[in-house]
């Protein structure tokens, strides 16, 4: 049975783990050729093998998209290898929350560089190819940006993470308006607590604070978010799911 994305190419950042990896698997199952982008080459190779074993196709592009100039090169390499780009999923991100007086400025810069600037640069490089892709085939192309509930509600000790995710959400809506008439759909997905490595990046005090706050919550799985992303990009051309909030059922 043919997949809904047969013949199309998707580029997924942050593909070495979590939501990015789960999304790559889901899009490959729908028939897309998936370009896997992240720093950890070994993880990407393992994921590509898993996708191939399931009958899908993946290409590995190990790169640190937080470095200036790298996102443009990654997009150029993907298009050169596959001949087109139809879907961009910006899933790379880091969460380094903690007390503002205690955490170093370098952690704030790391969040801004990866969560926001890398997303902007990758999207900027991809847009001409997405506009071109939308002129044929499905008649539409997609950008899906992974924001967070933290992009809707600010909280103490998470100010910079909040700032990056508020930025992703605002950028996504502005871009959606700009490219709607060019048939490039721009969607933002805002998950609540997801069972990923993201929580492990934080300072111990921040991890303990979150654990207490979410002690009675059953976390979402990365696959839950990946299924929503696949749903977004496989809708008919006339349907744009501009903003999708996904919360754990029992999170108040």
Positions annotated as catalytic residues are 161
How many whole angstroms separate alpha carbon 55 and alpha carbon 24?
Answer: 13
- Asked whether 160 and 98 are in contact (CB, 8 A), the reply is no
* Sign of the torsion angle spanned by Cα atoms 38, 49, 189, 249: negative
Give SS3 for 207. helix
What are the helix (H) ranges across the chain?
18-29, 41-53, 70-82, 105-111, 119-133, 159-179, 204-213, 222-233
Q: At what angle do helices 222-233 and 18-29 cross, to 10 degrees?
A: 50
């Amino acid at each position: 049975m043919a997949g809904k994305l047969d013949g199309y190419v998707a580029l997924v950042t942050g593909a070495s783990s979590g939501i990015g990896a789960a999304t790559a698997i889901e899009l490959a199952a729908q028939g897309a050729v998936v370009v896997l982008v992240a720093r950890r080459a070994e993880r990407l190779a393992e994921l590509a093998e898993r996708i191939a074993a399931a009958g899908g196709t993946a290409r590995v592009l190990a790169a640190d998209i937080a470095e200036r100039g790298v996102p443009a090169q990654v997009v150029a390499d993907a298009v050169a290898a596959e001949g087109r780009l139809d879907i961009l999923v910006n899933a790379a991100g880091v969460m380094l929350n903690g007390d503002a007086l205690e955490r170093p400025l370098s952690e704030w810069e790391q969040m801004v560089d990866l969560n926001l600037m890398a997303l902007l640069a990758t999207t900027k490089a991809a847009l001409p190819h997405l506009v071109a892709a939308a002129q044929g085939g499905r008649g539409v192309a997609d950008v899906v940006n992974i924001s967070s509930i933290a992009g809707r509600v600010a909280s103490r000790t998470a100010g910079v993470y909040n700032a990056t995710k508020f930025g992703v959400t605002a950028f996504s809506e502005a871009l959606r308006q700009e490219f709607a008439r060019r048939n490039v759909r721009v969607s933002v997905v805002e998950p609540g607590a997801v069972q990923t490595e993201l929580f492990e990046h934080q300072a111990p005090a921040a991890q303990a604070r979150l654990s207490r706050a979410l002690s009675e919550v059953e976390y979402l799985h990365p696959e839950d978010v990946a299924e929503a992303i696949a749903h977004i990009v496989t809708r008919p051309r006339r349907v744009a799911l501009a903003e999708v909030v996904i919360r754990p059922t029992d999170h108040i």
